[in-house]
Chain A
Amino acid sequence: MPDTIVLDPPDSPRRGLIHLLDMAELDADTITAVLDTARAFEQLAARPIKKVPTLRGRTVCNLFYEDSTRTRVSFEIAAKRLSADVLNFSAKGSSVSKGESLKDTALTLQAMGVDAIVIRHHASGAPWQLTRWVDGHVLNAGDGRHQHPTQALLDLFTIRERFGRLDGLHVAVVGDVLHSRVARSLVQGLRTMGAGVTLIGPPTLLPMAADDWGVDVAHDLDPVLGKADVVYVLRVQRERMEQQFIPSIREYARLWGVDRRRLGQLADQAVIMHPGPMNRGIELTADVADAPNSLITQQVANGVAVRMSCLYLMLGGDHPNQGS
């Protein structure tokens, strides 16, 4: 990875995040700080006034080249609850769709004095390029097939809230790992925090070099289910059928879909998670998504608190009248 500094140096007075791009760059202490801070922000949601003035006067721009109403809204609420001003810049119907390059867009935002840019882009690596063109903070909201750190962080938060810890847990990640930026980020985060991971799916949808990830790999789902604390189900897109990754949705659902029968094989303490959006009936059935041990709605709810935590740790150390 390019030598972008993600954290303030240990001896600096600020000790926050400069950018949030990649789970692999966050050590265990930093992840713990994010999760602990998120817990404090969670309490705010219970108050009548859900806002705090912490980031008043700061401007956060949501630069979303990929459609994602849910993630963008989550970031928008997070920024607004910290009293920051929010700009929404989506690819459709803007100068972007008329062919303006990422660089030109970045320089425009820079000229307007945006403090932080939350970027989601279809090209792996776009956030890194952005850091070269802007002085402000950059937060990666998902780039291509590469990383989605805030999703991983909210998943780690959800798991920790449920189990009280992360180390020593066993997480089974099921599905299209190859194409999933969520999986990459999550597996790195879990490994950093000492959890054990098994990847399960057809060989065509698992990364070739999974051994380097420090995880176990299996192709048969049923034997692994009973040993998992968390079964994390990934989305499978229909297009994978046309690209010879799987022969049919039907066969995928039969061999790797989590249905009621498989739900029954889980240990008592085990939970089901999914980063959304779900293809009900493919990677999991409706009754599994709505089962009592499904944490899917908690994941969504926790997204705001975790994103507030990330924005606070990134911007909270800047003085409005000084440069960052």
Chain B
Amino acid sequence: MAAARTSGAMTPDPVSRDVLDADAIRRAVRRMAHEILERHAGADALVVMGVHTRGVPLARRLVADVEQIEQVGVPAGELDVALYRDDYARIGPRPLARTHFPVDTAGRTVVLVDDVLYTGRTVRAAMEAVIDQGRPDAIELAVLVDRGHRELPIRADYVGKNLPTSADEVVRVRLREHDGVDAVSIEHSMGER
């Protein structure tokens, strides 16, 4: 009779459940690498841009896989979208991370890489930053996790895992390069359900 699952309001700590472990992440990235190569019939005219913060190590892993599969080098860079955001009131001005485009984007496809796709606002800001830098032939998006709840008409071209969530849940991505471990988990935020 009683619900087997306890609700978040009954416990003071956030309840989290693991969704992807290190192996799952590795496989997802590898699969995305294959998909990119298949769609573009090779890796000739690409440049992979990781979006700060965790998009950056993900981009590097993606590029490493692509290079290993296809035996070619792929230019990789990093992008801080802080100057293009529309939600400063929440986050405040922060020190700016490094933005580096390794090559001219003209004649190339820019593949943006981020850890979580949610409202789409970060990606919108990233696209604007890319367009201010140059004029690529196309922009594509690769994300490790798509959790839904888009507020803008934006979709990912390559998805590691689709994770339907509710708005009061938090998707937490941890990567070895930043957090010491590879794991994706969903947490209930503290407060009432």
Contact = CB atoms under 8 A, between A and B. Distances in A.
Interface in B85-113: 85, 87-93, 95-99
Interface in A1-21: 8, 13-16
Nearest to A14: B92
Residue among B91, B97, B128 with max Cβ neighbours from chain A (10 Å): B91
List the 4 closest pairs (A to B, CB-CB), nearest first. A319-B89, A316-B93, A40-B96, A52-B83
Interface in A21-49: 33, 36-37, 40-41, 43, 47-49
A324 to B, nearest CB: 10
Contact of B99 (A16, A43, A53, A317): A43
Contact of A47 (B91, B98, B128, B132): B132
B84 A319 contact: no
Interface string B62-97: 000000000000000000100111011111110111
Given A40-B96, A316-B93, 6 more contacts: A16-B93, A37-B96, A51-B132, A82-B83, A319-B87, A319-B88
B88 A316 contact: yes
B95 A53 contact: no
B83 A54 contact: yes
Given A48-B134, A53-B84, A318 B89 contact: yes
B99 A322 contact: no
10 contacts: A37-B95, A37-B96, A40-B98, A40-B99, A49-B133, A51-B132, A52-B129, A313-B93, A316-B93, A317-B91
Interface of A: 8, 13-16, 33, 36-37, 40-41, 43, 47-49, 51-54, 82, 312-313, 316-319, 322
Contacts of B90: 13
A84 B99 CA distance: 22
Interface of B: 80, 83-85, 87-93, 95-99, 128-129, 132-134
A190 B128 CA distance: 38
Contacts of A16: 92-93
Contacts of A317: 88-89, 91-93
Contacts of A318: 88-89
Contacts of B92: 8, 13-16, 316-317
Residue of A51, A53, A82 with highest tally of chain B CB at under 10 A: A53
B24 to A, nearest CB: 34
A84 B80 CA distance: 20
Contacts of B85: 54
B100 to A, nearest CB: 8
A295 B167 CA distance: 53
Contacts of A41: 96
Contacts of B80: 40
A49 B88 CA distance: 22
A43 B132 CA distance: 13
A24 B9 CA distance: 48
Given A54-B83, A318-B88, A49 B132 contact: yes
B95 A54 contact: no
Contact of B95 (A33, A47, A48): A33
B129 to A, nearest CB: 8
B95 A322 contact: no
B191 to A, nearest CB: 17
A82 B96 CA distance: 14
Contacts of A36: 95-96
Contacts of A37: 95-96
B131 to A, nearest CB: 8
B77 to A, nearest CB: 12
Nearest to A35: B95
